[in-house]
Chains A and B, each alone.
Chain A
Amino acid sequence: MNIKWFSLGMVILMLLVPLLTACSPQGPQQVIVTYTVLETIMVEGTPQVVERIVEVTPTPMPPAPVEDPTIIVIQGVDPASLDPHVGESGPKINVLIHMFDTLFDVADDMEIVPSIVESWEVLNDNLTWKFKLKEGIKFWNGQPLDANAVKFTIDRTMDQDLIAKGLNDPFVSRVQLESVEVQDEYTVVIHTKTPQPLMGLRLTYLFIMEPTHYQSISFEDASINPMGSGAFKFVSWTRDDNVTMERNPDWWGGQSQIGKLIFRSVPEASVRLSELETGNADLVTDVIPEDMARVSLMPHAHISWVEGGRRIFVGFDTTKEHFQDPRVRQAFNYAINWSEISEGLLGGMGNKRLISVPAAWTPVGLEAYPYDPEKAKSLLEEAGFPMDKKLILNTPIARYLKDVEIAQVVAAQLNEIGLNVEVVPLEWSVMSNNISQRTVEDLFLLGLGSRFNGLQDLDSLRPDATFNAGSWVNQDYLDARLKANSFMDIENQKVWVAEAALAGYYDPPWIFLYNQISLYGVSNRLLGWQARPDERINLSAFEFRQ
């Protein structure tokens, strides 16, 4: 046999394999039900009965209920530690919120609501917070969740020995803690150095830990041996594989309908979807827009998506002379055709941001910068911007959804108005280093999280904020921010947050892009579960539909 022809034949066969795989059914097809109806219609004044064929795609129905169901959630990464005082990441918080309780919680509508707090008062010129806890709540080992437990949890964040070993919870810094005291068995008092209008929000991240347990184990063991009071008890953790929890029958919020809850970590997005497709997962995170069609073909699953809180933008290095004129930065905003980016890269999803704070906190009537390339050009001309100046736009790689692609389109749109922008992608570890050292290039694509609170979001552009890498400073912004922080009631806060945001709108620190969308593949077993803007996955009180 001629080896040349044979080799060619084998190559063709190998190339056909993926095509055959793609052409073959990916799985069960979407079901369409066809039925015939009889209708009476008028034909030239005479009623006639005719048949009509109707095709319907049935609404997804939940499968038959199972006793003590096991629910499997697959995220992209594993928690690094189960110690609440070590590191903060979305995937880790998704695990912790099932095992621990907090004084306050974030509801599905992003409102801060009391959780294990019965009542509270703010005293002494807003420097003292007195919390009355619900009675009768117990940790898994039977110990009471009382004021001592809260004080222990807060004090532990200040333990210098543990900090030297790596404990790094910033609660004390965030609330400017003066001291914490136990007034009686269920009353804890927190004293702060300055008024803390965001105290409730801060407390949603303070997971209450059982004192005797954590005092009896080493710091290393605390990472792998949690003791909480949450809806689920810790069972086991195989690193880079799964965290397994089982229902806590004594949870104060009522027994969960879920018997066993497993959080797995699978790095590859396509593999997570394969698990959903084969019925081995009930919820998978970080689905990319291109895979929505694949999920739509799964009769037992659906997509749930939400506009999240992560603010994606292109920052300006305002220390550079060519970016100091606000007209230049406004021009860059006018040059961006967001719908082109959204249609081309995000399946038409994502709304253009207009400002740095959440929509509910923005000035009424203010619109996002429209796409107006002519206005962009005229502003640049007015400001005397050197059009031939080469500008570098850094972007991280696979840090955010379509980050490199979005940066490339932004650069292309800027170049369309005569600018000279080059995209240089960077590994995140390098880019985060540049950001923290403030050695960024002219432009940098970044995403900043949001707590859905305008007051909190204003902090992103404080002069000393780590991620204000462009060193943007606006005195009106700072004055309004200070004013907003002096009020404890949200209505006054909103007035001044809007003022600050307005200052940032006309003197833009960023090219405002969008809030990153979060896409989830969800099994119909979890019908009714909705994606949340804060990317939290909380199934503690989930009720299965029948």
Chain B
Amino acid sequence: MLAYIIRRLFQAIVVLIGVSIISFFIMFLTGDPVSAMVSDDWTHEMIEDLREGMGFNRPLHIQYLDFLSKAVRGDLGVSIRQHQPNITLIMNRMPATVELAGAALLFSLLISIPIGILSALKRGSWQDNIIMVVALLGQSTPVFWLGIMLMLIFSVHFRLTPVSGRDGWESLILPAITLGAFSTARNARMMRSTMIEVLSQDYIRTARSKGLKESAILYIHALRNALIPVVTLVGLQLGMLLGGAVITEQIFAWPGVGRLIVNAIYGKDIPLVQASIMVIAAIFVFINLMVDILYTVLDPRIRLK
């Protein structure tokens, strides 16, 4: 187990280095960061002075090595637009993103697991049909459209929830539903599939023949095994959600990491973009590792391999 974790940590470091290289050089391919900071009447001389002052006139590989050497010491640089340490800016936004991601995930699990189980138990029935069609629609519906529709109906027409912003638990409802809709649909379909597969296993037939209650068979024997792939999926979703739900945050003006990154990209705030990508990659890698470890806890057969 320890050797497995060490091996995964090493892989994580390699991934992070690769991500840093790609994110650094891609940002510079999209153009000059300084030109995005100046107004119409700046002369070339003024722009060059600013470029030199900010160190953007150095060779790219020198700039990258400078960035990397600071990153390994925990210094992810300073935003060239906001003039705050990047890690501070990211961590200040993280609570909003965690709140939104957590709420979306909770919504997703509370809906998807029960309806996935129901759908599996009622396989082929009209309940199963409804659930699967709704799930399909949930996965097909564009997030942008769903968010705007929910806003128009519940915020503007019925005045039940705030329109936008982060101000109290009520303002979390619509963004969480918008963000969680896709994963709810996918998790429900996955839950149904795995449940059907598990319920057809020999040990389930054995449990029934031994006279166990159906509820015991379902929740003690079947569900735990059926949840394993769902856990993996949910773990990956959590990593993606924490990376910043860009579209949802833009629609609902949610002050999270997603908006931070989008604004940094538009403003050519290269140090902030790089730092954000590094942090998100690190979160994603960490969550993946945790999911893999959790997997071995849920399924001892994997531990023995």
* A residues in contact (CB < 8 Å) with B: 1, 3, 6-7, 10-11, 14, 17-18, 21, 24-27, 77-78, 80-81, 83, 86-88, 163-166, 168, 170, 173-174, 219-220, 222-224, 238-242, 264-268, 270-271, 274-275, 277-278, 280, 427-430, 432-437, 448-449, 456, 459-460, 462, 464-467
**Bound Cα distance from A222 to B152, whole angstroms:** 40
| Contact string against A for B residues 233-265, beta-carbon threshold 8 Å, 1 for contact and 0 otherwise | 000000000000000001111010001100101
Whole-angstrom CA separation of A81 from B78 in the bound complex:
13
Question: When the two chains form their complex, are residues B255 and A81 in contact, meaning their CB atoms are under 8 A apart?
Answer: no
In order of increasing CB-CB distance, the 8 nearest A-B pairs are: A433-B31, A240-B255, A436-B35, A80-B81, A266-B253, A241-B255, A10-B133, A223-B83
Contact (Cβ within 8 A) B31 A6: no
Q: Assess the A266–B43 pair: CB atoms within 8 A.
A: no
- Give the docked Cα–Cα distance between A368 and B250 (Å): 41
Judge whether B83 and A278 touch: CB under 8 Å: no
B152 & A1 in contact (Cβ 8 Å cutoff): no
Contacts of B116-175 to chain A: CB distance below 8 A: 126, 129-130, 133-134, 136-137, 141, 145, 148-149, 151-153, 155-157, 159, 162-166
Q: Does B216 contact A (CB under 8 A)?
A: no
Report the Cα distance A275→B137, complex, angstroms.
29
CB-defined contacts of B60 to chain A, threshold 8 Å? none
Inter-subunit contact A466/B268 (CB<8 Å): no
Q: Are B253 and A264 in contact (CB under 8 A)?
A: yes
**Chain B: minimal CB distance from A533 (Å):** 16
Task: For the complex, give the distance between the alpha carbons of A432 and B163 in Å.
Answer: 34
Q: Are B47 and A6 closer than 8 Å at their CB atoms?
A: no
Chain B residue contacts of A280, Cβ below 8 A: 162-163
Which chain B positions have C-beta within 8 A of A437?
Answer: 32
Measured CB to CB, the closest approach of chain A to B66, in angstroms, equals 14
Could you list some 25 contacts between A and B, CB below 8 A? Answer: A3-B129, A6-B133, A7-B129, A10-B130, A21-B153, A21-B157, A80-B81, A81-B82, A164-B53, A170-B46, A220-B83, A223-B83, A240-B260, A241-B166, A264-B165, A267-B250, A267-B259, A274-B152, A429-B265, A430-B30, A433-B31, A433-B35, A435-B35, A437-B32, A464-B44
B200 beta carbon closer than 8 Å to chain A: no
Known: A10-B134, A270-B148, A271-B252. A168 touches B81 (CB 8 A): no
Which of B2-10, B85-93, B99-107, B291-299 contacts its partner? B85-93
Q: A267-B259, A270-B148, A466-B42 are in contact. Are A433 and B32 (CB under 8 A)?
A: yes
Q: Tell me which of A26, A224, A239, A429 contacts B156 (CB under 8 A).
A: A26
Chain B residue with the shortest CB-CB distance to A27? B156
Q: Given A240-B260, A274-B152, A274-B163, A265 and B41 touching (CB < 8 A)?
A: no
Interchain CB contact under 8 A, B35 and A268:
no
Considering only CB atoms, which chain A residue lies closest to B88 in the complex? A220
Partner of A278, one of B84, B163, B266: B163
Interface range, B side: 35 or more
On chain A, the residues within 8 Å of B89 by CB distance are: 239
Least CB distance, B272 to chain A, in whole angstroms: 10
- Tell me whether A21 and B41 are in contact (CB under 8 A): no
Cβ-based interface call for B54 (8 A): yes
Residue B50, interface by CB 8 Å = yes
CA distance A166 to B40 in the complex (A): 19
Query: Within 8 Å CB of A219, what residues of B?
Result: 83
> Interface residues, chain B, CB within 8 Å of chain A?
30-32, 34-47, 50, 53-54, 78, 80-85, 89, 92-93, 126, 129-130, 133-134, 136-137, 141, 145, 148-149, 151-153, 155-157, 159, 162-166, 250-253, 255, 259-260, 263, 265-268
Assuming the contacts A10-B133, A271-B164, A466-B40, asked whether A429 and B263 have C-beta atoms less than 8 A apart, the reply is: no
A-B contact count (CB 8 A): 178
Q: Tell me the nearest residue of chain A to B82, going by C-beta.
A: A80
How far is it, in angstroms, between the C-alpha of A165 and the C-alpha of B80 when the chains are bound?
8
Q: How far is the CA of A11 from the CA of B133 in the complex (A)?
A: 9
* Bound CA span A271–B151, Å: 8
B46 in contact with A275 (CB, 8 Å): no
Give the residue name and chain of the B residue nearest to A25 (CB). B157
Smallest beta-carbon distance B54→chain A, Å: 7
Cross-chain contact B47 with A429 (CB below 8 angstroms): no
Q: Which residues of A contact B35 (CB under 8 A)?
A: 432-433, 435-436, 466
A26-B157, A86-B83, A220-B84 known; A271 vs B41 contact (CB < 8 Å): no
In the complex, which of the residues B133, B145, B267 has the most CB atoms of chain A within 10 Å of its own CB atom? Answer: B133
Excluding A7-B133, A25-B157, 4 further A-B contacts by CB distance (< 8 Å) are A21-B152, A170-B42, A427-B30, A466-B38
Are B255 and A165 interface neighbours, CB within 8 A?
A: no
B30 and A429 contact, CB distance less than 8 A? yes
- Chain B residues lying within 8 Å of A11, measured Cβ to Cβ, are 137
Q: Contacts of B136 on A, CB cut-off 8 Å? A: 7
- Cα distance A428–B36 in the bound complex, in angstroms: 9
- A173 to chain B: closest residue by CB: B46
With a cutoff of 8 Å between Cβ atoms, the chain B residues found around residue A277 in the complex are: 156
Given A77-B263, A80-B267, A220-B85, A168 and B50 contact (CB-CB distance below 8 Å) = yes
- Complex: A136 Cα to B260 Cα, angstroms: 41
**Is the beta-carbon distance between A14 and B40 smaller than 8 angstroms?**
no
Q: Given A18, A26, A271, A429, which contacts B266 in the complex, CB threshold below 8 Å?
A: A429
Tell me the minimal C-beta distance from A427 to chain B in angstroms.
7
Q: Shortest beta-carbon distance, A225 to chain B, in Å?
A: 11
Residues from chain B with a CB closer than 8 A to the CB of A271 are: 148, 151, 163-164, 251-253
